[in-house]
Structure 1
Amino acid sequence: MAQQTWTAVDACFDGLLVEEDEALTAAAAGSEAAGLPAHQVVPNQGKLLHLLARIRGARRILEIGTLGGYSTIWLARALPEGGRLVTLEVDERCAPIAAENIARAGLRDVVDIRLGRAVDLLPQLTDTDPFDLVFIDADKPSNPAYLEWALRLTRPGGVIIGDNVVRGGAVVDAADSDPRVQGVRRFTELIAEHPRLTATALQTVGSKGYDGLVIALVTE
Structure 2
Amino acid sequence: MSRHSIRLSDALHEYVVSHGTPPDAVLTELVDETYAALPQQAGMQIGPDQAAFTTLLVKLIGARSAVEVGTFTGMSSLAIARGLPADGKLICLDVSDEYTSIARRFWERDGQSDKIELRLGPALESLRAFPTEPHLDFAFIDADKPSYSVYWEELVPRMVPGGLIAVDNVLWGGRVVDPSESGGNVDAVRAFNDLAAADDRMEVVMLPVGDGLTLARKL
Common topology (TM > 0.5) = yes
Amino acid at match of 2:213: L
Any conservation in 2 of the 1:10–1:44 contact (CA below 8 Å)? no
Any conservation in 1 of the 2:51–2:79 contact (CA below 8 Å)? yes
Q: Which residue of 2 aligns with 1:195?
A: 200
The two structures have a TM-score, normalised by structure 2, of 0.88
Following TM superposition, where does structure 1 have runs of at least 4 consecutive aligned residues deviating by more than 3 angstroms? Answer: 173-176
Task: Note if 1:22 corresponds to 2:34.
Answer: no
Task: Note if 1:84 corresponds to 2:89.
Answer: yes
The CA deviation string for residues 116-162 of structure 1, in whole angstroms up to 9 with x for no partner, is 11112111222687110111111111100110111132111111111
Shift of 1:178: 2.8
Q: Which residue of 2 aligns with 1:208?
A: none
SS of match in other structure, 2:118: strand
In structure 2, relative to structure 1, the CA distance for the partners of 1:172 and 1:13 (3 Å cut) is closer
Q: Which residue of 2 aligns with 1:216?
A: 216
Give 5+ residue unaligned stretches, structure 1.
206-210
What CA distance in whole angstroms lies between the structure 2 residues aligned with 1:93 and 1:24? Answer: 19
What CA distance in whole angstroms lies between the structure 1 residues aligned with 2:196 and 2:132? Answer: 24
SS of match in other structure, 2:83: coil
Shift of 1:58: 0.6
What CA distance in whole angstroms lies between the structure 1 residues aligned with 2:20 and 2:215? Answer: 22
The CA deviation string for residues 62-98 of structure 1, in whole angstroms up to 9 with x for no partner, is 1111010011111100011211111111122112111
The two structures have a TM-score, normalised by structure 1, of 0.88
Task: Note if 1:32 corresponds to 2:7.
Answer: no
CA-atom RMSD in angstroms: 1.9
Identity of aligned residues (%): 35
**Which segment drifts farther, 60-69 or 166-175?**
166-175
Q: Which residue of 1 aligns with 2:5?
A: none
Amino acid at match of 1:15: S
Higher RCO (CA-CA < 8 Å; seq separation 6+)? 1
Any conservation in 2 of the 1:95–1:115 contact (CA below 8 Å)? no
What CA distance in whole angstroms lies between the structure 2 residues aligned with 1:9 and 1:82? Answer: 38
What CA distance in whole angstroms lies between the structure 2 residues aligned with 1:121 and 1:200? Answer: 27
The 5 Å alignment of 1:67-146 reads 67-126=72-131, 130-146=135-151
**Which segment drifts farther, 117-126 or 196-205?**
196-205
Count, aligned residues: 210
